[in-house]
Structures are given as structure tokens and as C-alpha cells.
Chains A and B, each alone.
Chain A
Amino acid sequence: MTATVSLLEARDLAKSYGPVQALRSADLVIEPGEVHALLGANGAGKSTLVKVLTGVISADHGTVLVNGKPARIGSPAQAARIGLAPVFQDPALVPDLTISQNMRLTGTSSAAVEHELRALDLAVDFSDQARDVPLPMQRMIDLARALTRDPALLLLDEITAALPSDLAERVFAVMQRSRERGRSVLFITHRLKEVIASCDRATILRDGRAVATMAPREGGEERIVEHMLGPEAARASVAAAEQGAGAADVRPAAPAGEAPALKVDGLFGGRVRNMSFELRRGEILGVAALEGQGQDDLFAVLSGGQSPSGGEIRAAGRVLKARHPYDSIRAGVVLVPADRLHALLPQRSVRENVAAPRYNSFSRWGPINMRDEGRRVREAEQALHIDTRAARQVRRLSGGNQQKVTIARWLANGFTTMLCFDPTRGIDVGTKRQIYVLLRRLADDGAAILFFSSELTEFPLVCDRVLTLFGGEITADLPGAAADEATLLRAMHGLAESQAGT
């Protein structure tokens, strides 16, 4: 191996978005003629690495060698010229152009693309507008377009995530054929089974660093998961689980006979497929899932932002048919989204932000009771320790304080069920801890909380119970204490042994 020149060699790549370090020091070596998997949990830096390699974004530092020579990749077009052809998660087809116009836009011959598609046993009407072509098919067209360039390295960013299995099979066939012809493939996926079945080597990222490069067939899923977690984290998660278990003992049992705060029965909508669960008052129920497994849709449906296509939601025993977020809010089901700026009015004051839902109800038309409003807001502020020194404009608060304002808003207005979607994303450790404590206190006061997080370590600390989702379905229902990272990660990948919990 050492004598030959690697096809692609990335050394010490780093990239940060503001205070968030997406890549710390990523190394990646791809040999000619291999199918290489890039693995890692959410936020490990996979997508960032692919974007750097294909010139969509530029790295802060680090070097990329292609065929042993330093390469400067400034744009997707430049990447294509040196033989790197990406197929992105979002298809790069322009919706208002026809397929053949899309091909002409990138200087690709439609005939060649048609030929590649035929080799995949697919047929497409090239005079169709891209927006009329189903998404899985758009990806296949994207793939075929990339193949016509006969790239030295094909980068497939989660291409199989939204493909039905027969199309996914064809992608594996493409990878196999590339290998036979001495071309390489970089394959990014969440599905470990696919990796073991079709990849020669795998590089595993954790916290923006490449922690291991291994042959996935040796050791299999267990070893991959171990690397994704890291030995320290595995140990830490055990410790956290013990802590969580200790806390669980002192929790009062919910009064028997009371209707659950939230009861979901056979829910469908978006990617959500036949979900049923109950959430009691005083309980924090975790939702753990890899990206795009239906958690976004679940939260959108529950909060009234999206209509379900089937099933029933009951809030405190009453059927909830939300056609607008207002309906959910009135039923006591409120949302704390990940992106604070979605929920807040950034140019307005803390007070107005906290009081905003109160301006909605008809009974409060006419003069606002400023004294009552002021009291409620002050109480919420004090309860949450919001730093109000920059209270005149919410956008000037820190991320953690902004998140507290979104929670304070519901505290001041009353709710029974709080849907927290990744509430600690991009927040410093200290404030995170405050938010954990706060959520627990809310639950102790009788609130029901549905809690999604992209950080697995949070589940045993925060939750009484954890559901894992995979492909829009619930794959496991774990007690919070047992929800250590390794268990969660396995269940989140839809691996069979953990389904015993359902």
C-alpha cells in the first residue's frame, strides 16, 4: 500500500461555523479501486467533510492531495474537473427546468445519462420538468449524471436514505462496478448493514476527528458502534445511566386513572409511520433518532405545524385535531424548537417575546393588562435565571438565554405538554445543565415533556423513558436508565437485537 499513490488524501482538515467546530482534525485516505464508508453519529462532521472535499465550502485549514498532488478545490465545478463527482443529499436538479435542460446546464450529454440510466434498468422522460420527477428518481438521475463523468472518486452522501430498496440495490451494483473498474467510491450512510455488505474500508468520525479506519467486515457492527462512541463515552454513559437510575427512584408515580397528557395512536404523517405512544404528566419521554427518521415530522404534527395523514392524537384525554399551531397551543401542547430564531421575534424585547402567545386570544383584544403581563414575565424570568441585561432585543442574548426565553414563554402562558426539539443545540455546557434541571423541575411540577436530542449522552441524564425511531417507526422503548449510548445507537440503527424492547 505504501508504494502506491493514494487517490485522495485529506490531512488535518478543520472547519468551524462560528463557535461550533464541525471538523477538528479529519484525516481520510482513499485508495484507487476501493469502496470506502464514512461513518459517524449525528454532528460528527461527515457532511462537512464531504462539502469540503467537493468545494461547496472551504476548510479553515488542512490539505487535500489528489493523486499525491496538492489540490485546491474552490467550487463544485472545480471538484468535477479533477475527478471528484458528488451526489448530494439534496438532488442538484433545478426544479423549473426539464431533465434534459438540467443536463445541458451542467454540460452533460443527455444521451450519456440515458445510457447510464438504462444500465441501471431505469427509464426517464427527459422532457419532464424536474419538479414532476419523484425524489428517489431525481437522485438516480443525479447519480447517472455523476457516472457519465467517469469520476475517479464518486461521493455518495446518504444516497440510500430516501431510496426504496430496489433502487438502493442498484446503487450497490454501481459501487461494485466502480470497484471492478478501478474507480473509488466514498459512501456516507447511517445504515451499518449496508456498510458491512458493500464497503472495503470505513473511516469513522467522532467530534470532527477521524478516530479509526477499519475493514467493516472484521468485527462488524459492534466494533463500528464502539468506535463511533469512543471508549470514554461508553464508560461515561454507564456512569450517567447510574445517576439517572438514582434519580428515577425518587420520582413520584403518576396518579392512576388520569388520562395521559399526550396519547398518540397509529399516527401517520410525513415520514412518521404508525407511531403509538403515551406520555404521562410528570414524565420526560426521550426521542432518539438519526437524522431524517421521522422525528421532525412527529414534532411538526404534534405542534400543529403539519397535518397528520392518519391516526389520532389525544391531549389530556381530548382528541387534538390541530390545523394550526394555535390549536395545539390551546390544547396545552407547546413547542420549543431547535432553532431559537424560529420561535423568537429577534428584534423585540424579552418581555414581548415571552408574552407573545397572549396577544393571540380574542378575549385579550383591547388594552393589554400590563401589570399582569409584567408580573408573569418577571416570574418566568426569575424562575429560569434569564440574564436580562440585554433584554431590549432578544437577538443580543446568548443562545442559551434565548432558549430560556422560548421556555419562559410557555411557562408564563401555561401548558401541559412541552415538545422540546433538540433544545440544547449549540448551547454551552453550563446552560445545558441548567436546562436539564429546569426540564426536570417542570416535570416534577406536573408537566409532560417530549424531548428529542441529537446528543445521546443527554438521554440517560434527562429522560424517564426513551423511544428510538428508525425509518419513521418506533424501534425501541427503553427505560431512561438503560438508555446508554451504545444501546441507543444500536436501536437507532434499527438493529434487530434491541427491538426486543418494543
Chain B
Amino acid sequence: MTATTGGAPGRGGPARLARRHGWTAGIYVLLLVLTIFWRSQTSVKWGPFDVQSLVIDALPLCFAACAQSIVIISGGIDLSVGSMMSLANVVSAKYMLHMSFDEALLFSLAVVAGGALVGAITGFTIVITRVADIIVTLAMLFVLGGVALAVLEVPGGGAPARFQALVSVDTVLTAWFPAVLLILFGAVAVLWLTVRRARIGLAIYAVGSNRPAAYLAGVDVKRTRVLAYAYSGAFAALGGLAFTGASGLGDPNAGSIYTLNSVAAAVLGGVSLLGGVGGLVGPIAAAFVLTLVKTLMILRGVDQNYAQVFQGSLIVLVVMIGGLAIRQKGKGS
């Protein structure tokens, strides 16, 4: 008698692909639908410029969503994402002001590395003190926010014109493809996709999915959690730099709206708050969806306050429908 448990034929292929990546696909479809709607709503000629401005608008949230998603996947939460972005923003704006373009690029790398270091310190604090992650990162929200204010009390500073152009003007190949998208995808590819399928990446998923099982399987749980926060710090720093490039300004409060929006984008993008599930591709699309919804609201002249109500409702609705769909599928199989 040969046991073939789990080896039943006909379960692989497209069906499984749809099951595993259904959510991400769904959020891209939503983005597409919204884009078509957006186009139909614009009376003047809709063109590359509109796409570019949307991308610039969404970019900081894209990075914030990545930062948050990695930590949530590892089974934690990071409430310091916004302050980390503010800090990266004011530090870059203050010191880049009189730099050349090349120096500014080098300095950006240093800011990202610094962000990773601060994130690692946050993670280390959580792991060593065993204080709940939500409390430690909440404390870091205030600490980093305070440091950002100390660096630059009022909005100011700036960045080399060439650096700003890189974020807000440059395009690649066609006028429809802003150069910053390449930076976003490049950062995700270099920082995340390289480790996603390697042992450290799998360890982040494992620790978020079932911590005791991961430990019994020989995963260094503490190191993995610290690593997740380091990633968060690096992506948040990139978000701050994106803000600098887009606005040409340092603002110590720039990041404050991104802390909770990053959680929203992560959840909308298919990351489970229970940990262990999701990726970065979905949350990036979700960041665009959230930004586009805001743009559409402004376009249609909806009161800003109602726009927020609508945005919140959309998140609940999408996550609820997604959850129901998953439950139904679970019953079906």
C-alpha cells in the first residue's frame, strides 16, 4: 500500500497559483479599474504627467508599506515608520542642500544604512527587553520624532536640483515610465527579492507564521526579528528620501501620516496581521490604490473629511471581502 497523502494530482498549476497570489492579483485589478475610472473622470487630456504625479504622490507610502509589511510578516508591528521617515527626510534635506548630485547619492546610501541601523536597534530593544513590540515602536515613534525636530525645527533645507529631478521629472524609455519607479522596484529587488527565497527571508516568514515551530526547526528567532526591523528602518529611510526628492524640502512632521497608512497599505496588500503571510508586491499596489482614491476624491471635489471616511470604509470592505473569499475557498476544498 502506497500512501500518497498530499500528492493528489490536479492540485498544482494555475489553481494553486490563483490561490497563493489571488489577493495580489486582485489588488492590481482594483488598481487598474481605478486608473480607468480616473482617466474617464479627467476632463483635460490625461497623459504621462498625470501618471508621474501619481507616482510621486504614492512613492513615500510605497516605501512605508514595504517597511511595515516586512515587520508584520515577521509577526511584529512597527509604529515608528512615520518618524523614521521624518528623520531621514530632515537629515537628508539639511545636509544635502549644498551637496553635488554625486555626493547626494552617496549620502542617500548612508541615510538608508543609518535607517537600517536604527531599525536594528529598535528590534534589538524588543528582543532583549521582551517588552511588547507595539510599545517599543510606539516609544521609538516619539524618540525619532523628537530627534527629527532637533535636527530641523521648522520645514527647510533642500536637495540638489538634479536629485529632485531624479525623483520628480526623469523618465525611462517612454514618458509614461517615471524613473523613480525603477528606483522603487530596484530597491525591492536588491533588498528583498534577493533574500525572499533564501534562508533569512524564509526565516522571517517562519518566525511570523509559528514562532515555536521556527525555533524547534533551528531558526535563530531573535536575530531574525532584529533583521526584520532593520529592513523596516532601511525602507522607511528610503521613504523619507523619496519625500525629500519629491518636495525638495525637509519637514520634521512629513512622515507622521505614514505610520498608520503603512499598516493600511500592508493589510490591503494581502499581508496578514497574524504574520507569516504576504509579500511586498501587493502592498506597493495597495499604496497606489490608497493614493489614487485620495486623488479621485479631490478630483470629484469630495470634502476632505468624507474622503477619509471613504478611504477607511474601502479598507474594511476590501479586507472583509478578501477574508470571505478565502473562507469560502477553504470550505470548498
Q: Which residues of A contact B (CB under 8 A)?
A: 56, 75-77, 80, 86, 88, 90-97, 101-102, 104-107, 121-125, 127-128, 132-134, 136-137, 166-167
Contact = CB atoms under 8 A, between A and B. Distances in A.
Given A121-B2, A166-B3, A56 B205 contact: no
Contacts of A77: 218, 220
Contacts of B11: 125, 128
A92 B209 CA distance: 12
A94 B12 contact: no
B81 interface: no
A106 B218 contact: yes
Given A76-B217, A123-B2, A105 B12 contact: no
Interface string B256-291: 000000000000000000001100000000000000
Contact of B1 (A106, A107, A134, A166): A166
A77 B209 CA distance: 19
Nearest to B276: A96
Nearest to B16: A127
B304 interface: no
Interface string B3-35: 111111001100010000000000000000000
Contact of A76 (B16, B197, B203, B218): B218
Given A101-B202, A105-B199, A123-B2, A94 B217 contact: yes
B205 A90 contact: no
B276 A95 contact: yes
B199 A107 contact: yes
Interface residues of B, number: 32
Contacts of B209: 94-97
B312 interface: no
Contacts of B2: 121-123
Interface of B: 1-8, 11-12, 16, 197-199, 202-203, 205-206, 208-210, 212-220, 276-277
B12 A127 contact: yes
B1 to A, nearest CB: 7
Nearest to B218: A77
Nearest to A166: B1
A137 B203 CA distance: 22
A105 B202 contact: yes
B202 A97 contact: yes
B194 to A, nearest CB: 15
A56 B211 CA distance: 13
Instruction: Find the residue from A77, A80, A125 having the highest chain B CB count within 10 A.
Output: A125
A127 B16 CA distance: 10
B202 A76 contact: no
Given A91-B213, A94-B205, A96-B209, A124 B5 contact: yes
A386 B210 CA distance: 40
B205 A125 contact: no
Instruction: Find the residue from B203, B208, B209, B217 having the highest chain A CB count within 10 A.
Output: B217
A136 B11 CA distance: 20
Contacts of B16: 127
Contacts of A166: 1, 3
Instruction: Find the residue from B8, B197, B210, B215 having the highest chain A CB count within 10 A.
Output: B210
Given A92-B217, A121-B3, A166-B3, 17 more contacts: A94-B213, A94-B214, A96-B206, A96-B276, A97-B205, A97-B209, A101-B205, A102-B206, A104-B197, A106-B218, A123-B7, A124-B6, A125-B6, A134-B6, A136-B5, A137-B3, A166-B1
Contacts of A105: 199, 202-203, 206, 214, 217, 219
A88 B216 contact: yes
Nearest to B221: A75
A92 B3 CA distance: 21
11 contacts: A91-B213, A94-B206, A94-B276, A96-B277, A97-B209, A106-B219, A123-B7, A125-B7, A127-B12, A134-B6, A167-B3
